[in-house]
Amino acid sequence: MDILIALVPMFAWGSIGLVSGKIGGDANQQTLGMTIGAFLFSIVTLFILQPAVTSWILFIGFLSGLFWSAGQNGQFHGMKYLGVSVGLPLSTGMQLIINTVAGAIFFHEWTKSQDFLAGSLALILLVLGAYLTAKQDPTSQIEHNRMFNFGKGFRALIISTIGYGLYTILITWAKVDPAAVIFPQSLGMLVGASLFAFKKVSINRFVWKNMWSGLLWGAGNVCMLLTLQKVGLAVSFSLSQMGIIISTLGGIFILGEAKTKKEITYVILGCLLIICGGILLGYMKTT
């Protein structure tokens, strides 16, 4: 039963890009709608779990939520320019890289020679995987409508990675109760998304429909927290990374993102390498 619950983040987080892509709207509308859904989910979670929320947790949670909103907004912009099948695995690989480097440098998680060996191998897998997901077939005759501006998409993902990185680094540094931080975090997410949307977004059906992606994110987040102590970090972390396969194949076969056979091979190999790197990092954190 615990393993089944641990599988929820994989399907929930892996489906967010597909749900938002299918619903439509611009990146700011998607971010705002998603954060409204996550905020509503956090209220329910607050009443069910009833954690002790201190002023310090309020501050850390709110600030991390602001960083998260920057990360999510940048990711939605990146997927607009790169497509879900390229943008999401590339974003995942970049996030894993920055968190790995931060863990080694700031939190001294690499203390033994085997840590440096395994960590370096994981970074190589992540970098190679991220490269393959974005690689195009030079002989392709397909017009890549969603790849019309790789520069803009990649710059958006850099901003996204910084935002997501600061969000996770801050939570790790503060060592706060994960259950207690959910609600203040969602407040910061909502305020951040509102700032991005200010005078840019008309509140319409795209915003309200994108609340579903926020509910998916909230469900995945809570299930990750509930199973972390029961099945272990290595298992829960590794399973959550496998959502890349859902988003990548869904982007190609559900959203209809045009790919040649060679590009599909590149993307699948890239995702597998990113997952292997993620599994290796998850294993390192439990040894």
pLDDT digits (tens, 9 = 90+) for 95-133: 878 877 887 788 777 778 888 888 889 888 888 988 888
The closest of 72, 68, 105 to 210, measured between CA atoms, is: 72
The predicted-structure confidence for 250-260, as pLDDT tens digits, reads as follows: 888 888 777 78
Residue 53 has pLDDT above 70, yes or no: yes
* Residue 120 structure tokens: 């370096």
What's the domain count of the chain? 1
d(CA 128, CA 246): 20
What is the predicted pLDDT for the residue at 244? 77
User: Residues 236-253: what's their mean pLDDT?
Assistant: 74
Contact partners, residue 130, CB within 8 Å, separation at least 6 = 89, 90, 93, 94, 97, 270, 274
User: Residues 57-69: what's their mean pLDDT?
Assistant: 94
CB 37 within 8 A of CB 218: yes
Q: Which domain holds residue 138?
A: 2-284
d(CA 110, CA 44): 38
d(CA 192, CA 66): 5
The predicted-structure confidence for 129-143, as pLDDT tens digits, reads as follows: 888 887 877 766 555
Say which residue, 266 or 4, is predicted with more confidence: 266
